[in-house]
Amino acid sequence: MTFTCGCSRRDFLRKGFYGLGVGAGLPVILNRTSAALAAQALGGTSLETNPERILVVVELSGGNDGLNTVVPYGNDTYYQVRPNLGIPEHDVLKVESGYGFHPALVGFERLYKDGQMAVVHGCGYENPSLSHFSSMGYWHSGVPNGGDPLGWVGRLADRAYDHDAQGNMIVNIGTRQSMAVQSRYHPPLVFSDPGRLRRDGTGDELDALAALSPEVTSANQALEFLTSTAQNATESGELVREATSSYHTPVDYGIGGLSGSLRQTAALIAAQLPTRLYYVSYSGNSFDTHVHQADPHARLLAYTADAVHGFIEDMRRIGRADDVAVMMFTEFGRRVEENASLGTDHGTATPMFVLGAGVNGGMYGRHPSLTDLDDGNLKMTTDFRRVYATMINEWLGHADTRSILKGSFEPMGLFA
Amino acid sequence: MSRDRTTVSRLLTWSVGVGVVALAWSTPVVAGQAGDTALADDLSPLTVADWDEHKAAHLLERAGFGGTPDDVAKLAAMTPEAAVSSLVDYHTVADTLSPFDASPIWDPAMDPFPKSRAEAVRRARETGTSMGVEMLPEGESRRLQPVVNKFFYGLRSNAIETQRLALWWGQRMLLSTRPLEEKLTLFWHGHFSTGNTKVRDTRMMLRQNEMLRAHAAGSFRDLLLGILKDPAMLVYLDNRENVKDHPNENFGRELLELFTMGVGNYSEEDIREASRAFTGWTNSALEFHFDATQHDYGPKTFLGQTGLYDGTDIIEIILDQEPTAEYIAGKLYRYFVRQELSETTRAELGATLRNANYELSPLLARIFLSRDFYSAPSVATQIKSPVHLVVSTYRKLGLQEMPTIPDFNRLTASLGQTMFNPPNVAGWAGGRTWITPGSLLQRGNLFRTVMFAETDSFYPPDRVVPGIYASVARRLEQGMNITAATQEGDAESSMLADRDEDYNTRYGGYMGYVMAFEKLKLVPRRTPNLDLVRLVNEAGANDVEAVVDHFIARFLRVPLDQVDRDVLVEFLRDKLGADQLETPDAHSEAALRGLLYLVLSTPEYQLA
C-alpha cells in the first residue's frame, strides 16, 4: 500500500505533516515553486485536471435576508411587502435588469461586473424547515429532512482522499466545528484563534508534555491515529500561528468577523498548505435579523462583501486567483413580508453565491415568485445540492457527486 | 473491501493537492500479541483461566464507565460469567438514585406549546390569549409583548432545564450501581436520536430517557414500540404532520434506515407504505394519542406483504426480517466492542438476538463473555466519547458527587457531545469523528480546569444572560427604552424614539431569560472534591515512581512507554523536590494534580 511517493508512513511522521523537519523548527512558508513542481509531477497520472484548486465555503449563519441582498427592484410586490425595509430603487447597485445588490455590497457589485460572481436564485429544498438548527443541519449534512452523521464536505474528503492520508484535508475557521466538515476519516483542523491551538499549562507542564514521545507506530491503529493527530495538532498550531502572524498583505479586507477568517485563509493558502477544502463561518446567528434590521443587516453585508472582495483580490495578488473559488450560503432566507419590529422572520429560499476568477459570472436559476408563496414564504427554484454538485464536479473535478450528495444533482455550468 | 481499495488508490491521485503532503502506509501493521489477536471473531466464552484484572478493567470500561482499582478488583475476583452477569443482569441490583427534581416551569396553559413564535402570536391574535397570557388591551403599546415573552420563557426555561436534566443523567452515570444501564441508555439515546432543540420540552425528554432506561437491556420490541409512541420522538420527527391525506415520509424513512434495518434492505415504496401505517400516531402533551380521524385504514403493501396494517403490524413485519436483528446487534457491537465486525460475527450475533425473541440481555452477555471482546483488536481501541471521557475520569477518581465547576454540559459540549441534543436524527457518529487536532488539545486542556478548578472566573449558565441579551439588559438598566435597548450598535441607538409595534422579539428573548431564572431551580456549584494525596496514600504509593505507576495503571488502558514514564517521574520529582511524597500538604497535592493533568492529556488516555 504505497502511494505516490516512496516514503513510508514512519518517514512521513518523522518528517512531519508538511514534509518538513519538525525538529528543525518551523520556517513554514513553503516554496511555491516546489509545490507547483510536485503538483505537476502528479499530472500525468491524475484523474484530476486541476490539482491546485481550492474550495472556500463561507457560511452566513442566522438566515440571511436574500430579498434585501439581491434586490428584485423591478418587482412592485417587493416594495409592497417591504414598505419600510425595501431598498429604494435609486439606492440599489443595479447589475441586471430588475436585479441589483444592496447598497452595502459594493464589493459584490465590483466582482459581479468583473464577471467573477455567479448568483444562483431561489436555493432551498423541499419541505423547508424554519428552524435554524434543523435547516442549518440539512445544509450541513446535505440531506434535507433526513440525517447523516457526516457533513457534505466531510464526505467529499472521505471520497476524495485515501483513508490513511495524513495532513489537514479540511480547515474550518470558526468558533466551533461545523457539522458540514464532519468526516469519517479526515479530522478537520478547526480554529478561530490560532493562539488556542495549543496546550494549556505552566512551563513545567508544557515542557513535560512536549517531552512525551510521539509513539508513532503501534499495533493499535486507534492509538496511531491519536498520536499522529496529536502531533498534527502541535505542528498545525505552530504552523497556523506562524503563517497567520507573518502574513502581511496590502489588500483591505475591511472589518468584521469574516475579514479575519478570510485573511487567515489567505495566509494559509499563501503558506502553501496542501489543504484544498476551507470552511469559514460567522459566529453565532449573526444574520438573524428579527428586529430593526436595516442598519445591522447593511453592516453585515458590507463586512461580508468587503472581506470576500478583499480575499479574491488577495488571491490575485499572490498569483492564486485561478485556483480559488468561494461558495457562500445561509440556512434560509427571511419571510417575504417585513415584520412589525422593522425586521424579518425566518423564511425559506435564498440566493447562493459563487465567486472567483474561474467563475462564469451572471445570474442563474429563476428568481422565486413574490406572489405565489407557500404560507408567506418563497418557493425554492433550485435545490441547493445542485450548487454543491457544481463545486464538487465542475470546480474540484470530482465526478462522483452522487455518493457524496446521496442523490443525483445536476451541476449548473458555473465553471464550464 | 477490495473495491474500496481500488477506489481509494484511484482517488488518491485526486488527493495530493499541492503535492507537499507525502503519504504512505508501507509497513504492514504488526500485531503486538499474536495470541490475543487470534481470539478475534471467536464468540465462544472466555474461561476462568484467562480471567484477570486487565480483562476485568476492560469489561468495566466498556460495559460501564470504568472505576476505581477496588471496583476492578471486585470484578476480577469473580468468574467471568459472574462478572458479566453482575453488569448485564442489573435488575437484581437496587437503584438507589433519586429521580429528577424538576423545576416548576410548566403551567397547564402552556400545553400544547406553540411550534414557533409566529404561531404563538397567531393564537393570541385569533383568540386574545396564548399560553395562558392575554394580549394587552387596545391602546397599549406592544400589545403582544407578554405573549412573546411567555413564548421565549418556554424556550429558555426548557433549554436550561434540559441542561439540569443532562447533569442529573451525568450524575447517574457517575454514581449508579448499574453502570451498564446508563451506558445502554446513552446508546439508545444516540440510536433513537431526539433533540430538545426541536422538542423544546424537558418533560418529554425526561419521559423518553426513562422509557429508554426501562427497556435498555430488555426487549428491543418494547423499545421500538415505546419510541414510536414516544411524545418527544413524535414531535422530533413531525409525526403530527403524518396524516392520511398527506403522509409524511420522514417517520417511515427514519424507522427503516436508522432505527431498524439500515439502508439497502427496503424500497422507497416500503418507506411510503410504512409511513401510511403510522398516520394518526401523535401525542397529546405527554401522552401518546392515536388520532383515528387521521389514520389511513387502507391496505398497505410492505416488504412484499399486503394487509390492513397499522403501525404495530409494521413493527412485527420489520422484526421478522433477518437484517433487522443483524443491524441492531451490529450497532451494539460497534458501540461496545469495535468499529469493524466480520460478516460471520454480525450474522451470528443477529441470530442470537432473533433467537432470544429480541431480548437484549442474552446478546449483551454473549458479547461481553466472548473471547473476541478480550482480543487485541477489541481492547483499548475505542475512542472515548466526550461523555465517557468526563464521567469515567470522575469514576476513576472515586468522586462521590458530580462536580459542577467546571460545568458538566460545557465540558462535553465543547468536545462535541451535548446530551439531549444530538447533531441530527442520525445521532453521534462516534469513533474517530470525536477527534480533531483542536479537540484533542482541548481534551487535555479541559482536565486542567478540572485539576485546578477556578471559581472566580466561573459563570453559571443557568443564571447568566448570554451574548446580545446581556447588552439588552445593560441598556435597559441605563434607562433606554425598549426600541433603543434592542438595537444593535452603539451611540445612535439611544436617540431612537420608542416604536409602536405589536411586540419586540429581542426584548422578548431577553425577558424569556429573566422569567426563566425566576422559576428554574439553581444548580448547586461545587468544584471537584479531589484529594490526590489521600488517593495515592491509600494505594500505598509513596515514592515518585510508585505514584506515576499507580496513575498509569489506574487511568490508562494502554501502558506508556519507558521514555514517557521517565518524563512523568522526572516531572513529579521536580515538582515535589524529593523522591518521596512526604508531607500531605497543598504543595504535594498541586504536584500530583499537575502530574495527573499530564497523564490525562496523553493520546493513550483517549482510549477505552
CB atoms within 10 A of CB B111: 14
pLDDT digits (tens, 9 = 90+) for A98-114: 999 999 999 999 999 99
Other Cβ atoms within 10 Å of B585 Cβ, number: 10
- Asked whether the beta carbons of A75 and A98 are under 8 A apart, the reply is yes
Of A163, A222, A233, the CB nearest to B440: A233
Please provide residue B383's backbone torsions phi and psi, each rounded to the nearest 5 degrees: -80, 125
Label residue B351 exposed, middle or buried (CB < 10 Å: 0-12, 13-18, 19+). Answer: middle
Distance CA B266, CA A79 (A): 50
Answer whether A257 touches B (CB < 8 Å). no
Which run of H or of E encompasses A270? helix A257-270
Q: How far is B114 from chain A (nearest CA, A)?
A: 13
Using one digit for the tens of pLDDT, what is the confidence trace for B427-474?
999 999 999 999 999 999 999 999 999 998 899 999 999 888 999 999
pLDDT at A151: 96
Chain A and chain B share a number of CB contacts under 8 A equal to 316
Residues in chain B within 8 Å Cβ distance of A227: 603
Distances, alpha carbon B244 to alpha carbons B230, B256, B271, B273, B310, in Å: 20, 20, 15, 11, 12
Q: Is the pLDDT of residue A39 over 90?
A: no
The reply to whether omega before A51 is within 30° of 0 (cis) is no
Phi/psi of residue A121, each to 5°?
Answer: -70, 150
Closest Cβ opposite residue B19 in set A35, A226, A346 = A35
Using a CB-CB distance cutoff of 8 angstroms, which residues of chain A are in contact with residue B16? 4, 38-39, 42, 51, 274
> ω before A187 within 30° of 0 (cis)?
no
Position B17 scores a pLDDT of 32
Residue B558 pLDDT exceeds 60: yes
Taking the C-alpha atoms of residue B223 and residue B213, their distance in angstroms, rounded to an integer, is 9
Burial class of B262 by CB neighbour count within 10 A (0 to 12, 13 to 18, 19+): middle
pLDDT of residue B117: 86
Q: Report CB contact under 8 Å: A295, B487.
A: yes
Strand residues in A23-116 grouped as ranges (E): 54-59, 70-71, 93-96, 99-101
Contact B64, B387 (CB under 8 A): no
CB within 8 Å: B438 and A212? no
Cβ distance A232 to B437 less than 8 Å, yes or no, reads: yes
Res. A1 pLDDT band, cuts 50 70 90: very low
A126 touches chain B (CB under 8 A): no
Amino acid sitting at position A13: L
- Higher model confidence: residue A288 or residue B71? B71
Q: Which of residues 308-347 of A touch B (CB under 8 A)?
A: 339-343, 345-346
Rounded Cα–Cα distance for residues B390 and A306 (Å): 43
* Contacts for A311 with CB less than 8 Å, ≥ 6 apart: A56, A253, A262, A263, A265, A266, A326
Best mutation target among A12, A127, A199 (most B Cβ atoms within 10 Å) is A199
**Cell numbers standing for residue B396:** 476513576
- Give the chain A residue nearest B428 (alpha carbons): A149
Please report residues of A whose CB lies closer than 8 A to that of B117: 345
Q: How far apart are CA B507 and CA B509, in angstroms?
A: 5
Grid coordinates standing for A306? 468587503
Assign B249 a pLDDT band (cuts: 50, 70, 90): confident
Report pLDDT for A290. Answer: 83
A358-408: pLDDT as tens digits: 999 999 999 999 999 998 999 999 999 999 999 999 999 998 899 999 999
- Per-residue pLDDT reduced to its tens digit, B34-89: 347 789 999 999 999 999 999 999 999 999 999 999 999 999 999 999 999 999 99
Nearest beta carbon to residue A219 from set B31, B437, B448: B31
Q: Are A356 and A116 in contact (CB under 8 A)?
A: yes
Identify residue B402 by its one-letter amino acid code: M
User: Residue by residue, what is the 3-state secondary structure of B188-224?
Assistant: HHHHCCCCHHHHCCHHHHHHHHHHHHHCCCCEHHHHH
Instruction: Read off the pLDDT of residues A231-262 as tens digits, 9 standing for 90 and up.
Output: 889 989 999 999 999 999 999 999 887 999 99
Q: In chain B, which residues have their Cβ closer than 8 Å to the Cβ of A397?
A: 14
Pair type for strands A277-281 and A54-59: parallel
Q: Classify burial at B89, counting beta carbons within 10 Å of its beta carbon; exposed 0-12, middle 13-18, buried 19 or more.
A: middle
Q: Inform me whether the pLDDT recorded for B13 exceeds 60.
A: no
Determine whether the interchain pair B198/A12 forms a contact, defined as Cβ–Cβ distance below 8 Å: no
DSSP 3-state of A364:
strand
B255, closest residue in chain A (CA to CA): A146
Q: Does A15 touch chain B (CB under 8 A)?
A: yes
Please judge whether B16 and A19 are an interchain contact, meaning their C-beta atoms are less than 8 angstroms apart.
no
The confidence score (pLDDT) of residue B489 equals 64
Evaluate whether A261 touches A61 at the Cβ level (below 8 Å). no
Distance between CA atoms of residues B368 and B333, nearest Å:
10
What is residue B68's three-state secondary structure? coil
| pLDDT value at residue A49 | 63
Nearest to A219 among B22, B32, B444 (CB): B32
With pLDDT > 90 as the criterion, what percentage of chain A qualifies? 72
- Taking the C-alpha atoms of residue A102 and residue A63, their distance in angstroms, rounded to an integer, is 16
Rounded to whole angstroms, how far apart are CA atoms B177 and B182? Answer: 10
ipTM (interface predicted TM)? 0.90
In chain A, which among 27-56 make CB contacts under 8 A with chain B? 30, 34-39, 41-42, 45-48, 51-52
C-alpha cell at A192: 478561530
Neighbours of A316 (CB within 10 A): 15
Give yes or no for residue A48 having a pLDDT over 70.
no
* CA–CA min distance B209, chain A (Å): 21
Neighbour tally for B69: CB within 10 Å: 18
Q: Furthest-apart CA pair in chain A: how many Å?
A: 69
User: B247-258 burial string, b = 16+ CB within 10 Å, else e?
Assistant: bbbbbbbbbbbb
Three-state DSSP class for A283? coil
Contact flag B16-A4 (C-beta cutoff 8 Å): yes
Residue B118: which pLDDT band, with cuts at 50, 70 and 90?
confident
Taking residues B563-586, report their average pLDDT. Answer: 93
Q: Is A354 helix (H, G, I), strand (E, B) or coil?
A: strand
Q: What is the pTM of this model?
A: 0.86
Distances (CA, A) of B303 to A4, B16, B242, B267, B297: 47, 45, 20, 8, 18
Enclosing H/E stretch for B294 = none
Q: Kind and range of the H or E element at B161?
A: helix B145-175
Q: Rounded CA gap, B526 and A116, in Å?
A: 57
Q: What is the mean pLDDT of chain B?
A: 91
Tell me what pLDDT residue B10 has: 34
Burial classification of residue B245, based on how many CB atoms lie within 10 Å of its CB (0-12 exposed, 13-18 middle, 19 or more buried): exposed
Q: What is the mean pLDDT of residues B381-388?
A: 98
- Kindly tell me if the per-residue pLDDT of B136 is higher than 90: yes
Q: How far is A233 from A253, CA to CA, in rounded Å?
A: 28
Residues 6+ positions from B38 with CB-CB distance below 8 Å: B375
Interchain CB distance below 8 Å, A291 and B505 = yes
A51: chain B residues, CB-CB within 8 Å: 14, 16-19
Bridge partners of A325, per DSSP, are A55
CB contact under 8 A, B22 and A213: no
Of A134, A137, A189, the CB nearest to B437: A189
Label residue A412 by pLDDT band (50, 70, 90): very high
Cβ pair B19, A39 in contact under 8 A: yes
C-alpha cell at A296: 445591522
Going by DSSP bridges, is the β-strand pair A99-101/A382-383 parallel, antiparallel, or unpaired? unpaired
Confidence at A165, pLDDT banded by 50, 70, 90: confident
Distance CA B577, CA B167 (A): 40
pLDDT over threshold 50, residue A129: yes
Least confident of A64-78, B14-28, B335-349: B14-28
C-alpha to C-alpha distance for B591 and A202, rounded to whole angstroms: 12
Q: Give the per-residue pLDDT at B467.
A: 83
How many residues in total does chain B contain? 608
User: Does B607 contact A133 at a Cβ distance shorter than 8 Å?
Assistant: no
Q: Which of A17, A191, A226, A398 should be substituted to probe chain B, the one whose Cβ sees the most B Cβ atoms within 10 Å? A: A226
Instruction: State the cell numbers at A318.
Output: 499572490
Question: Residue B29: which of A41, A219, A341 has the nearest Cβ?
Answer: A219
Determine the Cα–Cα distance for residues A58 and A199; give it in Å rounded to an integer: 28
Q: Which residues of A113-146 are buried (b: 16+ CB within 10 A; e: fewer)?
A: eeebbbbbbbbbbeebbbbbebbbbbbbbbbbbb
